[in-house]
Amino acid sequence: MTIPSAISPSRGPQSPTVVGFHDKATGSCQYICIDPATKACALIDIVLDFDPKAARISTTNADWALDWIAREGLNLAWILDTHPHADHLSAAAYLAERSGAPTAIGAKVEEIAGLWRTLYNLPDAFDPKADFDRLLADGDTLRIGGMEVRVMLSPGHTLGSVSYVVGDAVFAHDTFMQPDSGTARADFPGGSAAMLYDSLMGILALPDDHRIFVGHDYGAPGRDGPAWESTVAEQKARNTHLAGGTGRADYIALREARDATLKLPDRMLHALQFNLRGGRLPVEADGNSYFKIPANRF
């Protein structure tokens, strides 16, 4: 299987080299963030492949990332998710089992878990403190080799989404899309177009030359293949939802109108119960795992 990928080179000290790669089935953009000076790296938002018709999991994307790391002689320091994804299964637990590296996600995942306990009628399910090695609050830091990673709370798509700012690289998940595609949806449980606008403005307050790496790309007319890198300046100038100084009220109206036309991702009801367990399903008495799907709730 060919996985589209590209390298965004380091621009100097404290600037990471970023390997981006794309999952066609879900439009997800995934990243290896590398400190060139120490060969330490982090994996960000890696997909665990899933066939929703057969409810079968496979590991093509995750294995591609691990093979890339091994081939380049890198040391995996962190496995990071920006939020509990609704459109794909997280590979965090699989990667941790294979590598021994710790996992982390935003601390407000505990509030997201509360919403989904009710939706799944699983009052005792989901324990993020047990299932992730670290829960990250706004302003927290961690290290990838000699590089500092700053955690930036950027809710809207979910109430607990975080961005990771590493030197001049911003892993901005489901906030921005490529400038020709606008911004991400904000209609999932706990989401908010108003919060998303504020998060977008917070990212645009960073220096113009900062690279923005987005969470999804579904293609667009006039370009060939997926893309996932832009800059703060490019987003200010060309983002189809924000260019020209779109105000908060106009953005909220635009985003909510667009979201009202969108269907749920076909993996969503499978994914949340899996991702809120850090990338796991419980094993039942017969040795198998089962998804629980709420009926007539959406």
Q: Is the pTM of this model over 0.95?
A: yes
Q: Which residues, in sequence order, are bridge partners of residue 147?
A: 144
- In sequence order, the 6+-apart residues with CB closer than 8 A to the CB of 26 are 47, 87, 88, 216, 265, 267
Q: What is the pLDDT of residue 2?
A: 83
What whole-number distance in Å separates Cα of residue 276 and Cα of residue 112? Answer: 8
Task: List pLDDT tens digits, range 13-49.
Answer: 999 999 999 999 999 999 999 999 999 999 999 999 9
| pLDDT of 1 strictly over 80 | no
Q: Is residue 77 within 8 Å of 87, Cβ to Cβ? A: no
What whole-number distance in Å separates Cα of residue 36 and Cα of residue 52? Answer: 38
- 277 is written with which tokens? 């367990």
Confidence of residue 142 (pLDDT cuts 50, 70, 90): very high
Q: Is residue 242 within 8 Å of 251, Cβ to Cβ? A: yes
Quote the DSSP letter at residue 55: T
SS3 at position 252: helix
* Residue spans of beta strands (DSSP E) within 70-121: 75-80, 89-90, 103-106
SS3 at position 92: helix
> Taking residues 55-60, what's their average pLDDT?
98
> Taking residues 166-190, what's their average pLDDT?
97
| pLDDT of 232 strictly over 80 | yes
Given CATH 3.60.15.10, say whether it is the number of domain 8-273. Answer: yes
| pLDDT of 105 strictly over 80 | yes
Q: Is residue 57 within 8 Å of 50, Cβ to Cβ? A: yes
> Taking residues 90-115, what's their average pLDDT?
98
